[in-house]
Structure 1
Amino acid sequence: MILAIDFGTSNLKAALINKDGIFFNYYTQEVQSEIDRDICQISSNIYLDFTTNYINSIDASKVEAIILSSNGPSFIPLLSDIKIRNNSFSCKSGKTRLWMDKRGSKYSKRVSEFYHKYIDGSFFLPAILNIKENEKDLYNKTIKFLTIDGFVNFALTKKAYTVNNADGLKDYYWNEDSLNHFNLDKSKFTDFIKCGEIIGNVDKEVADKLNLKKDVKVIAGGSDFYFSIIGSKVNRENILVDINGTSEGLNLCSSKPLIDNRFLCYEHPLDNLYNISGVLSNSGVALNWLRKILNIEDLDFEEVYELSKKAKKNSLIFLPYLNGERAPIWNPNATATLFNLTVDSSKEDIANAVIEGTIFAFKSVLEILESYDYKIDEIHVTTAKKESDYYHQLKSDITNRTFVVYNTKSAELLGLSLLAYTSLKQYPDLKTAIEKLSLNKKVFIPNKSKQEYFIRKYELFNSVYEQTNKLMSKSF
């Protein structure tokens, strides 16, 4: 079977998955990052520990191949070789710089000018330039800058690569010209490997210590969003995948590319198609903030939704930009706003406004795509812990779109397994692998009677953003 592991921002997941897409030994672990103003980081050892702990907990003889994905753009400054001792890895490394870290923002302009396109400060070059200029000791001690999946792949195989999921994404990484231009030490950067290629077998000593077979292959995975697309049964154009976790990604499969710097556009996992991507930074962040600020952290997300259902109809508006924003406004200085708050506003009203605000932000991305005459037949959803039937129906009502939710423990892990089986020649191509997959689904259709109310609130949402945007970067 395939051992698939996804290193998400707030959840790590692993499972053994057979060719029919059936999960065995599914396991998930929540992790908490350190967030302080512009800093967002986490201990890098958690990824190595999660991997070895999981392998040690299963019958490792069943593993045929291993494939990993991770959140991004996140990276790890590796400070030493990775050793296997007993049945666990050890090394020296800096903390993982997660994609929400803003310390590279002041270098975004320089990198954007070099590439003649907007490169957000969360991407690799701006973030690493910040380390070079402001954390010189860490930069000098770093032997390799690795993505999270690249870090664990290196531990398993002793081969250091960065997985590039599509040629159209190459400007968001690095190349020889950019490393020369910014005077970065090329020895600290890896070569690239294509998604789906076999990196190599698990290192012999690692296999011995973890009771893996000697011929277990490690296959290049890469960015987690890529596998959410595959695992959401996208087998043709005009399907949009809503990948909702700590952040939220909208990924439209299309036969025509989009040239608009507010979006990323690159090759789709399926041949001869494009993936048009808009990424929202705050969908999950806002709900976690809501629980904290209302002192209801003891409530699970379903209970939070029950709370919001009790809200009265009102004009309370929430701009969800708690951590800046990526698509479509690409403003790291964007801030959240709670507008029309009165003495009569209840915690139920606030909860409802926050939930609606994240969906209005989602709708704003949809509208831009529609302005380019892109057709969206339906929206496939990758489920997250914070979602429920109520949330999906509300999203359908606000956006006036049909949502399809497939029943799977993890679209990322499922997508990883499908690519791995295709790489091992057990499927002729990825499209065949996706189409052979049988999953139950729920369909959510918009309630037309609610359209007028949500249209008015959405117009107010946009007006609040337009009026407050110029004030967002002001600080004391």
Structure 2
Amino acid sequence: MILAVDIGTSSMKGGLITKEGYLFSYHRVRFPLESLKGDFSFSTELWSQGFLEILETLGASKVSVVAISGNGPTMVAANAQGKPLSPALMWNSDLGDSSIHSSSYYLSKINWLRENEPQLYEKSDLFLSCPEILYTQLTGRSVMVAPQEGYIPYIWSDSELERFHFRKSAFPEIVHMGSVVAPVSENAFLKTSLKPGIPVVACGSDFIASLIGSGAMKPGRICDRAGTSEGINYCASAAIGDSRVRELPHAVKGLVNISAILSSTGSLFEWYRQLTGQEKNNYKETMDGVNAVPASQGHPFFFPSMKGENLWEFKKGLFSGLEPGQGKFELGRSVMEAIGFAVRRSLEIFEELDLPVHELRVSGGQAKSPVWNQMKADITGKTMLIPEIEDAELLGCACLAATALGIYNSVSEASEDLVKIKHEIHPRKEFSDIYDIKYRRYRRACESVVSFYRDYPVSE
């Protein structure tokens, strides 16, 4: 079976997946809350420890191929064996050098290291991203992974390494997603119970793996990928050129991934749970409590930020309309509705750009909640497609592994065959009518709140 592993920001997930695309077993490793600061403090040992825990739980004897994806652009300084020499510069860290004018997502982080940690920079043999650390530790071969040729400028080029005077020897070869990195080595730095010779497949970015694993591989298909952050990813046949969305090459050469980035949705919900003392409760208990608050009942509006169209960036937030008698579940519905309104606004932007939206393929932790999926359908007026394997990154890794082994001729073919939609959640008219009114009120209130904070700014 395929051992598929995805390294997230707040946890690490692994699954044994059959070559027919079914999840045989699953395990999740949560990272300690204190490790999630987003600065130069994340312990990369959590990745190797998490991989070993997943392997021990699922069973190494069943594994015939390993496929690993991970968050990015995250950067780690390591020695030649792949042993990290420092904490990780995480993808959501503000640390970087703005003087590096480059399309690369990594070079500004590495230059920050050169300027601020010169001794560490000089003794580093390799600069690697998140899943690439584990490839090196398992096989002894160091690479960086590009989904396809169009992504190479976002990693680095020889000409840029020369222009910024970086040591080329510390920058590994770039390989394509879906290629075999190397077999597991008996002399591997990371000692595991895997049989030497098992192939390790390059999967790279978890964001691209989720597009593959959700089936968002044809123009018009949308993957709503939700974790610590959330990306509404639209598969398009051509670029649009609008600053309100991010455009990158797709996993399929010739297509474009157009996305609206909601940078704080998962972390915002976790903040709400901690704020209301629910961090030790299971998610179903929280969701059931929120669901018991009627959508039509008066409860606060929540504004995560005061930054115009970017109201989903959680900074300088505001609850408005608090009243006696309201409790943690009223606050929870307000927070969830704010996220849902941000998703709806993202879909409106797509439609304003002549990108029609009919349904969303959801993936990630939020996809596992019937309450949240139904609320999102009601707020947006769109159908939610729930895949058989909600953690689309894992199935994306499996698709890449199956293609690397020659089972499929292309990743697109593997995705079309292996992605299975478990059920559909349709908007309920009576709730959609309520949310149409609430959404219009919310949008008007947003304009007033932004205007207020512009005239009476909160101190930095």
TM-score interval (norm. to shorter) = 0.7 to 0.9
The separation in 1 between residues aligned to 2:18 and 2:32, in whole angstroms, is 31
Partner in structure 1 of residue 42 of structure 2: 42
Aligned equivalents of 1:94, 1:42: Cα separation in 2: 9
Q: Which residue of 2 aligns with 1:317?
A: 301
> Offset at 1:287?
1.1
What is the rounded CA distance, in whole Å, between the counterparts of 1:59 and 1:306 in structure 2? 34
| Residue identity opposite 1:317 in structure 2 | F
Is it true that 1:96 corresponds to 2:88 in the alignment? yes
Q: Which residue does the alignment assign to 2:157?
A: 175
Look up the equivalent residue of 2:92 and give its one-letter code: M
Partner of 2:8: 8
> Would the alpha carbon gap of residues 28 and 331 (structure 1) be closer, same or farther in structure 2, given more than 3 Å must change?
closer
Q: Which amino acid aligns with 1:201?
A: P
Q: Which residue of 2 aligns with 1:437?
A: 418
Partner of residue 204 from structure 1, selected from 150, 166, 186: 186
Per-residue CA deviation, residues 300-328 of structure 1 (Å, 9 max, x unaligned), is 2222222223436236221235xx99x97
Distance 1:14 1:38, change over 3 A: closer
Match of 1:275 in 2: 257
Q: Do residues 298 (structure 1) and 280 (structure 2) align?
A: yes
**Are 1:227 and 2:226 matched, yes or no?**
no
Aligned twin of 2:23: 23
- What's the offset of the Cα at 1:177? 3.8
Letter in 2 for 1:82: Q
Query: Where does residue 411 of structure 1 map in the other structure?
Result: 392
Q: Which residue of 2 aligns with 1:86?
A: none
What is the SS of the residue equivalent to 2:355? Answer: coil
1:43 is displaced (CA, Å) by 0.9
Compare 202-211 and 415-424 and name the one that shifted more.
202-211
Alpha carbons 2:362, 2:387 under 8 Å: kept: yes
User: TM-score, normalising length from structure 2?
Assistant: 0.88
Conserved 8 A contact 1:32-1:42? no
Aligned pairs for 1:385-464 within 5 A: 387-408=368-389, 410-437=391-418, 439=420, 441-464=422-445
Counterpart among 340, 354, 359 of residue 378 in structure 1: 359
> Within 2, Cα distance between the matches of 1:214 and 1:175?
33
Deviation per CA, 1:355-405, whole angstroms, max 9, x where unpaired? 111111122221111111012231111141684111111101111111111
| AA matched with 2:81 | I
**Structure 1 match to 2:331:** 350
Provide the aligned length of Structure 1 versus Structure 2.
455
CA deviation after TM superposition for structure 1 residue 333, in Å: 8.7
Which residue among 186, 190, 195 is the counterpart of 2:168?
A: 186
**Bigger shift: residues 244-253 or 254-263:** 254-263
Match in the other structure for 2:51: 51
Q: Following TM superposition, by how much is the alpha carbon of 1:343 offset from its aligned partner in structure 2, in angstroms?
A: 4.2
Instruction: Please list, as runs of the form range in 1=range in 2, the aligned pairs for 1:331-350 lying within 5 A after superposition.
Output: 334-343=315-324, 345-350=326-331
Q: Which moved more, 1:398-407 or 1:337-346?
A: 337-346
Equivalent in the alignment of 1:238: 220
CA 1:135–1:344 in 2, change beyond 3 Å: closer, same or farther?
farther
CA 1:334–1:185: 2 relative to 1, 3 Å: farther
Is the Cα contact below 8 Å between 2:363 and 2:387 reproduced in 1?
A: yes
One-letter code of the match for 1:127?
K
User: What pairs with 1:1-150 in structure 2 (closer than 5 Å)?
Assistant: 1-34=1-34, 39=39, 41-56=41-56, 60-78=60-78, 80-82=79-81, 91-104=83-96, 107-108=97-98, 110-111=99-100, 114-115=102-103, 123-150=105-132
Task: Kindly provide the amino acid, as one letter, of the partner of residue 320 in structure 1.
Answer: P
Question: So what's the TM-score if we normalise by structure 1?
Answer: 0.85
| Offset from partner CA, 1:207-250 (integer Å, 9 cap, x none) | 99545444322211111121222222335321111111111111
Please give the alpha-carbon distance, in whole angstroms, between the structure 2 residues aligned to 1:37 and 1:231.
29
Distance 1:35-1:174 versus aligned 2 partners, 3 A rule: same
3-state DSSP of counterpart to 2:188: helix
> Would the aligned equivalents of 1:33 and 1:41 in 2 still touch at CA under 8 Å?
no
3-state SS in 1 of match to 2:136: helix
Percent identity of equivalent pairs: 28
Q: Does 1:475 align with 2:459?
A: yes
Range with bigger deviation, 177-186 or 418-427: 177-186
Alignment partner, residue 87 of structure 1 = none
Residues 60 and 336 (structure 1), Cα distance of their counterparts in 2 relative to 1, 3 Å cut: same
Distance across 2 between alignment mates of 1:438 and 1:458: 33
Shift of 1:253: 1.5
- How far apart are the structure 1 equivalents of 2:275 and 2:47? 30
One-letter amino acid of the counterpart of residue 449, structure 1: E
Moved more, 333-342 or 394-403: 333-342
What displacement does 1:346 show? 3.1
The C-alpha deviation readout for 1:157-208, integer Å capped at 9, x for no partner, is: 2221111124444443333343344444433332311111122222232399
RMSD: 3.1
Q: 2:89, 2:95 within 8 Å by CA — same for their partners in 1? A: no
Provide the rounded CA distance (Å) in 2 between the counterparts of 1:47 and 1:354: 31
**Structure 2 unaligned residues grouped into runs of 5+:** none
CA offset at residue 347 of structure 1? 2.5
3-state SS of paired residue (2:3) = strand
Other-structure match for 1:156: 138
Q: Could you tell me how far apart the structure 2 residues matched to 1:461 and 1:132 are?
A: 46
- The answer on whether the counterparts of 1:266 and 1:274 sit within 8 Å (CA) in structure 2 is yes
Take 1:347 and 1:204, find their aligned partners in 2: how far apart are those partners? 53
SS for the counterpart of 1:277 is strand
CA contact (8 A) 1:402 1:443 kept: yes
